[in-house]
Amino acid sequence: MSHPVINVDLTAKARIRQVALELFALNGSDGTSMRAISSRAGVTVGLITHHFGTKAGLIQAVEDDLLDGIANAIAYQETDESVDGVVRKLDQRLLDHIDANPLVAAYLRRMMLIEGNGAGADLTERFTRMALRQIQDLRRRGIASTSRDAEDQVMQVMLVQLGQVLMQPFVDQIAGHLGQDPQRYQLSLRKTRTT
């Protein structure tokens, strides 16, 4: 109920993006009006169109930011040396980043799981390509296993790691309705290759 929760440390443009991500993740981009964004960000609607042109432009900007954040999170870091531990580190960094940014998780969930055909397909494709690029980068540096092909490794991290994160609220919800402790139930995914 505390609507004008605005972070004055950010520029108006950044604040708009931040609020937009929040509302998009919560209610979808279709379900959030520019007026709702402007009101929560403490600006006028006109400023949004000034900075981002159109609503589609704002969505684009939000997704660019989101993907940049993930790319940075899972990028190569100097501390990565050992060949075998690096894949586990990659997985962990992705999970940490999503854990630290629940709005990112919610947005990805909405887009990747539901809007598979349509608006979300683009984001899913960009995410997939980005992950593939990062893994190929690690391979070029000789610090990611090359025993399996890169595509297989991408499927692994996206389905198993990301998939579990995306599904967890579903588990919690059902456990809640059954009066069970959600902590006791965790979903473990594995991709089975039917050769």
Q: Which residues bind DNA (CB under 7 A)?
A: 11-13, 32-36, 42-47, 49-51, 53-56
The entry of its own copies, DNA, none that residue 43 binds, CB within 5 to 8 Å by partner kind: DNA
The entry of its own copies, DNA, none that residue 72 binds, CB within 5 to 8 Å by partner kind: none
> Which residue, 39 or 168, has its beta carbon nearer to DNA?
39
The entry of its own copies, DNA, none that residue 190 binds, CB within 5 to 8 Å by partner kind: its own copies
Question: How far apart are alpha carbons 76 and 30 in whole angstroms?
Answer: 36
Dihedral angle over CA of 76, 80, 81, 83, nearest 10: -80
Q: CB 165 → its own copies: shortest distance, Å?
A: 12
The entry of its own copies, DNA, none that residue 171 binds, CB within 5 to 8 Å by partner kind: its own copies
Residue type, 59: I
Question: How far apart are alpha carbons 59 and 151 in whole angstroms?
Answer: 28
Residues that bind its own copies (CB under 8 A): 28, 30-31, 109-110, 112-114, 116, 121, 124-125, 128-129, 132, 151, 154-155, 158-159, 163, 166-167, 169-171, 173-175, 177-180, 183-195
Q: CB 102 → DNA: shortest distance, Å?
A: 23
Residue position matching structure tokens 């660019």 = 64
Q: CB 61 → its own copies: shortest distance, Å?
A: 22
For 194: left if phi > 0, alpha if psi spans -120 to 50, otherwise beta; the answer is beta
29 exposure class (CB count in 10 Å sphere: 0-12, 13-18, 19+): buried
Q: CB 41 → DNA: shortest distance, Å?
A: 9
CA distances from 133 to 15, 97, 106, 107, 155 (A): 30, 18, 24, 22, 13
